[in-house]
Amino acid sequence: MKGVVCLSKDLIQQMADFKKYKIATLGSHTALQILKGAKDEGFETICICQKGQKRPYESYNVADKYIEVEKFEDYFEIEPQLIKENAIVIPHGSFVSYLGFANVKKIKAMHYGNRDIIEWESDREKERRWLLDAGLKMPMIFERPEDIDRAVIIKFHGAGGGKGYFIANNADEFYKRMKGHPDAGKRFVIQEYIVGVPVYSHYFYSPLSGELEVMSFDKRYESNADSVGRIAATDQVDVGIRTTYTITGNVPIVVRESLLPKIFEMGERVVEASKKIVDRGMWGPFCLEAVIDPNLNFYTFEISARIVAGTNPYINGSPYTWLRYNEPMSTGRRLARDIKEAIEKDELEKVLG
Amino acid sequence: MKGVVCLSKDLIQQMADFKKYKIATLGSHTALQILKGAKDEGFETICICQKGQKRPYESYNVADKYIEVEKFEDYFEIEPQLIKENAIVIPHGSFVSYLGFANVKKIKAMHYGNRDIIEWESDREKERRWLLDAGLKMPMIFERPEDIDRAVIIKFHGAGGGKGYFIANNADEFYKRMKGHPDAGKRFVIQEYIVGVPVYSHYFYSPLSGELEVMSFDKRYESNADSVGRIAATDQVDVGIRTTYTITGNVPIVVRESLLPKIFEMGERVVEASKKIVDRGMWGPFCLEAVIDPNLNFYTFEISARIVAGTNPYINGSPYTWLRYNEPMSTGRRLARDIKEAIEKDELEKVLG
Amino acid sequence: MKGVVCLSKDLIQQMADFKKYKIATLGSHTALQILKGAKDEGFETICICQKGQKRPYESYNVADKYIEVEKFEDYFEIEPQLIKENAIVIPHGSFVSYLGFANVKKIKAMHYGNRDIIEWESDREKERRWLLDAGLKMPMIFERPEDIDRAVIIKFHGAGGGKGYFIANNADEFYKRMKGHPDAGKRFVIQEYIVGVPVYSHYFYSPLSGELEVMSFDKRYESNADSVGRIAATDQVDVGIRTTYTITGNVPIVVRESLLPKIFEMGERVVEASKKIVDRGMWGPFCLEAVIDPNLNFYTFEISARIVAGTNPYINGSPYTWLRYNEPMSTGRRLARDIKEAIEKDELEKVLG
């Protein structure tokens, strides 16, 4: 009888511990699933909103508290509130992009995930070294326009939503299209254009269990890349259309099941390689962005070392998470569960970084 | 004790009230989710089927009763039965298209939604006035073929499934393609062709709560628009392919989360504007059909003031409705719930029109 | 009281009966949903994996037992184990492709579905006779390249994932593209290329109930067919891109509801016709692979007489199965339920073949 009472006390203690923490994020990108997931795991949630952008979060009822800022860049002004609330901040794609890489380092609130990895994700050359070190196949990079000997895509550093990316087949076309381009002054990379279908693989790696999970897949819905094909070729030529790659949304997909062993392996290698480049490596959600060519080769062109918007179709679970979990498991919720388990095991420091 | 008994009596009364009504619709378009949703809310349902088209409704077991007609245009012959059954009729896309705008006005059975708005939705010029009045950005309209100075799309009035729509870049192409076109005699509109991705936003506005909800999003799956891009450009030119826009289905999508505040605002403005043009305005499900360009501008080209087939992927709930509801909530079910709540509050007249 | 006890005994007997069987399949294609579905129905499951490919099945926890083989072609070496385990083998797309048509006939373990139908599915001419006999509209076949008078697609027999398929508009193009083609030596068919959208309809026909169900729909996600359209026409021509059709995944879709009666009818006719060509006909899951043209004609170009990978988006149920079932019903689970019901009715022989 005594044993039972003791256990019960521990349980109460644990639950009390976990209730002391709140989950907070910026109201954008994947905040809906992060906050909903946190509530489903029993946390209180805080949504940091830009003025006039609270409406969706209220309508979908995902936050217990709202903190309004003029713009997300003002995050540091309200950070003391987050610290006072004992909130754990969840970074997402817009987070880094609004705060800037250098500023993320200055965050004083508890932060889920390893901030040191952002340096490797944000710098195309370091990112490339990491992924090649993990044994992934990547598109070739051309140092100089004069070297272009095949279809290439020109990607500008820090371009939000792939805006301004363009295709060229040789140096001439490169210079013609770069001339007068709005981003002409920015740094860019000349990448081999792999003709194949884009597939974004969503992973979750828990530092508590040491296990990698494949959560789901998506393809992006890009303007105008995903609509130029709706215009017959002759009309396109008449109208002089060029492809652009602004992300407007995401489409759920599943991949050929025989590709899954390779997809697991790729993710595991990337996690392993991350441990060599930064202390403690990368954990939590991440995404490999690849093109699959007609011979079923994966050409990875980018990694996102955090939750991606491609997981948004799966707020109520993906075909894959429904296999493993007997409840709706979004990537946002998986993340909250990782935090909860860390608190319950008294290992919170393992998931903060 | 007496209080409790009274309450219980009221409850029984309410439930009895609500059980006195049935939900009916034409067996097509979105009838599966409308009838399933009504059953999930506890209503008995009636499916009005064309001869030989009952099979899906029986197989999916969504109707308690079937009324067969030779063709949907014969609706008025069976309407007395609906009235006798105390059925509330739910209009959908095929409803107006089969009965015709003028006939919808003659419906004597209880009808969910405001029939007065159909006049504004069915007339391209009135529709345009409404949406511009709501502050929405729309594609330009060209009065005369001679004015065409960019890519335009020619849309025929009342064309089922976008059949016959075509693209032209100038007056010459316009006349060449119009010559011998099967719909050449019909009224048409010359609309600026916005190069960007189509996004259909599904809304629900309850006149009881006065609150607007964003239910889900889709893109259409159009023949052959969504397959011409699968043919390499050179082959297309050889084969002489032209794009057509017959709707064959729908693909689920989610939108970039940072666009949601704007999407809520657009919907709210349209509801507000509707109150200025018709008594009591528009309520229930509606859809804004837009193209998002690479600068993330929404160009709305049409409104459907009723449930759209784009909600069909979400019979078991959408990523968005799962945020707000802890049960599967299709647009069809949301609609049935609106009716149920209206009955329970003794405000049924608020949702009929 | 006695009656109750008897019933209870029967029930216990039945349950014991059903627990005596296990469900087994090759770890690829649709194994995740087949094994998960079988577990959901209460069966123990066996996954036959190629060395190094067990990871996904373990991570998603769908099998109670794993049998490893060097390659799937070694199936017959481990078959005695399956027989000893009293396992029912579920065939899927990769099953026939790995074992080969002739070898499937040699399977001695219990096999779900009618093996005799594979001969009709695997031979393009027999398949065509079957589908035409069922009254389906099909693309024209051209006997000789010289007869090509429209866009055609050249399909090689037994090409995995549509690899190597190409388009030609006339005999000249045909010969030019066939020259030096890696599959030039293989048998091929010259099929009219229907310009319209591909739609894959997933059916389930239970020999116990004699009822046909429409489970779901998908479109394939093919490399590079589903990405060439993302490249502007002029760029495509410059780069000299040709379309290929390697399947990399699947995209969930719903179809226009008014097409459902025709889709049910097509499926029922195909089942009827199957009974004329092989003893007992076809049962279980199958798929009609069609293109819908802008006039809403279905051109069926192929049948898969077994579960297809297009059902993978629906591991937690499809919009259609959620109408009929009040629980998540994948095609894999539906199949397991058919087996379970057969065992409980003591009619297992009805589903084996």
* Alpha-carbon distance A321 to nearest alpha carbon in chain C (angstroms): 8
Contact B293 A222 (CB under 8 A): no
Distance CA B340, CA B43 (A): 9
Mean pLDDT of B16-20: 80
Residue A191 DSSP class: E
Please check whether residue B22 is in contact with residue B88, taking contact to mean a CB–CB distance below 8 angstroms: yes
CA A102 to chain centre: 18
The count of other CB atoms within 10 Å of the CB of residue B279 is 8
Please check whether residue C287 is in contact with residue C267, taking contact to mean a CB–CB distance below 8 angstroms: no
SS3 (DSSP) at B290: strand
At B251, which helix (H) or strand (E)? strand B245-255
At B298, which helix (H) or strand (E)? strand B298-304
Query: Chain C neighbours among B 17-56 (CB < 8 Å)?
Result: 28-32, 36, 52-56
pLDDT at B80: 98
Give this complex's ipTM. Answer: 0.92
**pLDDT band, residue C276 (cuts 50/70/90):** very high
Distance CA B342, CA B323 (A): 24
Closest CA to A75 of A96, A45, A54, A52: A96
pLDDT at B233: 83
Q: Which residue has the tokens 């060395």?
A: C51
At C34, which helix (H) or strand (E)? helix C31-40
Contact C257 B56 (CB under 8 A): yes
Q: Which residue has the tokens 């820090």?
A: A158
Contact C224 A151 (CB under 8 A): no
Contact C61 A323 (CB under 8 A): yes
Cα distances (angstroms) measured from residue A105 to each of A85, A91, A96: 21, 12, 10
The DSSP string of A74-121 is: GHHHHHHHHHHTTEEE--BHHHHHHH-HHHHTT--SEEBS-GGGHHHH
pLDDT at C46 over 50: yes
Average pLDDT score, chain A? 92
Contact A232 B243 (CB under 8 A): yes
Predicted TM-score (pTM) of the model is 0.94
> How many residues make up chain A in this entry?
353
Q: Which residues of C touch A295 (CB under 8 A)?
A: 246
pLDDT at B61: 97
pLDDT at B239: 66
**pLDDT band, residue C13 (cuts 50/70/90):** low
Lowest mean pLDDT among A16-30, C125-139, C255-269: A16-30
pLDDT at C237: 73
Distance CA C322, CA B330 (A): 11
Q: Which residue has the tokens 């009040």?
A: C326
pLDDT at A161: 52
Please check whether residue B200 is in contact with residue B219, taking contact to mean a CB–CB distance below 8 angstroms: yes
pLDDT at A169: 87
The count of other CB atoms within 10 Å of the CB of residue B101 is 15
Span B54-101, pLDDT tens digits: 999 999 999 999 999 999 999 999 999 999 999 999 999 888 888 888
> How many residues make up chain B in this entry?
353
Cα distances (angstroms) measured from residue B185 to each of B156, B157, B179, B188, B318: 10, 11, 10, 9, 41
At C120, which helix (H) or strand (E)? helix C118-122
pLDDT at C5: 44
Residues 6+ away with beta carbon under 8 Å from C254: B249, B250, B312, B313, C217, C319, C320
Which two three-digit tokens encode residue C327? 């629980």
Contact C324 B59 (CB under 8 A): yes
Share of chain C above pLDDT 90, in %: 75
**pLDDT band, residue C316 (cuts 50/70/90):** very high
pLDDT at C92: 94
Please check whether residue A26 is in contact with residue A53, taking contact to mean a CB–CB distance below 8 angstroms: no
Please check whether residue C321 is in contact with residue C214, taking contact to mean a CB–CB distance below 8 angstroms: no
What sign does the CA torsion over A12, A14, A16, A19 have?
Answer: negative
pLDDT at A1: 39
Share of chain B above pLDDT 70, in %: 93
Closest CA to C203 of C114, C31, C95, C321: C321
Closest CA to C97 of C309, C283, C296: C309
**pLDDT band, residue C8 (cuts 50/70/90):** low
Distance CA C199, CA C203 (A): 13
Residues 6+ away with beta carbon under 8 Å from C99: C72, C73, C75, C107
Sheet containing C110-111: order of strands: C65-69, C44-50, C22-26, C87-89, C110-111
Which two three-digit tokens encode residue B280? 């009591």
pLDDT at C24: 98
Q: Does A244 touch chain B (CB under 8 A)?
A: yes
Span B158-172, pLDDT tens digits: 665 566 788 888 999
- Cα-only R_g, chain A: 22
Mean pLDDT of B175-194: 90
**pLDDT band, residue C238 (cuts 50/70/90):** low
Distance CA A249, CA A227 (A): 13
Lowest mean pLDDT among A268-277, B190-199, C26-35: B190-199
pLDDT at B157: 78
Average pLDDT score, chain B? 92
Which conformational region is residue C168 in: left (phi greater than 0), alpha (psi within -120 to 50 degrees), or beta?
Answer: beta
> For residue C240, which phi and psi values (nearest 5 degrees)?
70, 40
Mean pLDDT of B228-255: 85
Span C152-185, pLDDT tens digits: 999 887 665 566 788 888 999 999 989 988 888 8
Q: Does A205 touch chain C (CB under 8 A)?
A: no
Q: Does A248 touch chain B (CB under 8 A)?
A: yes
pLDDT at B180: 84
Distance CA A268, CA C77 (A): 32
Query: Chain A neighbours among C 124-153 (CB < 8 Å)?
Result: none
Closest CA to C190 of C144, C132, C245, C121: C144
Mean pLDDT of B128-151: 96
Span A180-223, pLDDT tens digits: 888 888 889 899 999 899 999 999 999 999 999 999 999 999 99
Mean pLDDT of C72-94: 96
Out of A150, A230, A323, name the one closest to residue C62 (CB): A323
SS3 (DSSP) at C95: helix
**pLDDT band, residue B2 (cuts 50/70/90):** very low
Out of C228, C257, C294, name the one closest to residue B244 (CB): C294
**pLDDT band, residue C335 (cuts 50/70/90):** very high
Q: Which residues of A touch B264 (CB under 8 A)?
A: 55-56, 59
Lowest mean pLDDT among A267-276, A301-310, B95-104, B252-261: B95-104
Long-range contact set of residues B119-126: C-beta below 8 Å, sequence gap at least 24: B119/B278, B120/B274, B120/B277, B120/B278, B120/B305, B121/B303, B121/B304, B121/B305, B121/B306, B122/B96, B124/B157, B124/B189, B126/B277
pLDDT at C236: 79
pLDDT at B4: 44
Please check whether residue B266 is in contact with residue B300, taking contact to mean a CB–CB distance below 8 angstroms: yes
Mean pLDDT of B189-194: 92
Span C177-209, pLDDT tens digits: 899 888 888 889 899 999 899 999 999 999 999
Q: Which residue of C has its CA nearest to B228?
A: C195
Cα distances (angstroms) measured from residue C102 to each of C29, C97, C107: 20, 11, 10
At B40, which helix (H) or strand (E)? helix B31-40
**pLDDT band, residue A3 (cuts 50/70/90):** very low
Contact A228 C229 (CB under 8 A): yes
> How many residues make up chain C in this entry?
353
Query: Chain B neighbours among A 56-115 (CB < 8 Å)?
Result: 56, 59-62, 94
Lowest mean pLDDT among B121-125, C14-18, C34-38: C14-18
Question: Greater confidence, B265 or A1?
Answer: B265
Mean pLDDT of A263-285: 98
The count of other CB atoms within 10 Å of the CB of residue A132 is 13
Cis peptide leading into residue C224 (ω within 30°): yes
Q: Does B184 touch chain A (CB under 8 A)?
A: no
Please check whether residue B323 is in contact with residue B337, taking contact to mean a CB–CB distance below 8 angstroms: no
What sign does the CA torsion over A303, A305, A309, A315 have?
Answer: positive
Greatest mean pLDDT among A10-24, B61-75, C224-238: B61-75
Q: Which residues of B touch C252 (CB under 8 A)?
A: 251-252, 313
Q: Which residue has the tokens 């608020």?
A: B350
pLDDT at C336 over 50: yes
Cα distances (angstroms) measured from residue C233 to each of A31, B236, B293, B324, C40: 38, 10, 19, 43, 49
Please check whether residue B221 is in contact with residue B247, taking contact to mean a CB–CB distance below 8 angstroms: yes
Out of C246, C313, C315, name the one closest to residue A296 (CB): C246
Lowest mean pLDDT among C11-25, C55-69, C244-258: C11-25
pLDDT at B5: 45
Closest CA to B285 of B265, B248, B310: B310
Out of B222, B295, B324, name the one closest to residue A60 (CB): B324
